[in-house]
Amino acid sequence: TIPIEPYSYGYTKVVDSQGAWYFIDEFGLNSLRKTFYAARNFSDGLAAVKPGRSLAWGYLNPGGTMSIEADYLKAGDFTMGYAFVSKDLKQPGYIIDKSENEYLRGLGLSGISKFNEDGYAIAYSEKLIDSGGSERQETKYYMIRIEQP
């Protein structure tokens, strides 16, 4: 296996010939000793992973333990301490922090960009509107700012 992405928090993800994902360190060792059904690289100290044959995503820390259990069917990367998630693919998503506190649930978000270095992200919500027998999609955009202490 040859890593094709940069290392983050000392690891990069790779996939073996059977489709199992795992993280290798700079020496090419699977030092976390875990494999996953799917994985993304570490971002802001956590990596989104699907353990076993799970359809749900959770978040792994660089020590190799799950910081957030696999409960989410949508799971974005953490940036500035927050990630976009949803537990149901047919329901809107929301933002969580690393303690799983929920934010912006009432906006009915469909997605969000990563937060930039100034703490801003663009979020959007999409829904179908029935206007006199014909449906049209309405999209609303939101500028979100995280204030860091």
Residue-wise pLDDT tens digits, 61-91? 999 999 999 999 999 999 999 999 999 988 9
User: In this prediction, what percent of the chain has a pLDDT beyond 90?
Assistant: 66
Residues constituting the chain: 149
Q: What is the pTM of this model?
A: 0.87
- Residue 128, pLDDT score: 76
CA–CA gap between residue 112 and residue 123 (Å, rounded): 4
Percent of the chain with pLDDT over 70: 96
Q: Looking at this protein, which amino acid is placed at residue 26?
A: E
Query: If you ran DSSP here, which 8-state letter would residue 25 be given?
Result: -
Predicted local distance difference test score (pLDDT) of residue 149: 62
* Averaged pLDDT score across all residues of the chain: 90
pLDDT confidence of residue 92: 93
Over the stretch 14-45, which tens digit does the pLDDT of each residue have?
A: 988 888 899 999 888 888 888 899 999 999 99
Give the model's confidence band at 1: pLDDT under 50 very low, under 70 low, under 90 confident, else very high: low
C-alpha distances in angstroms, 129 versus 24, 72, 132, 140? 47, 27, 9, 12
Q: Which residue has better confidence, 70 or 3? A: 70
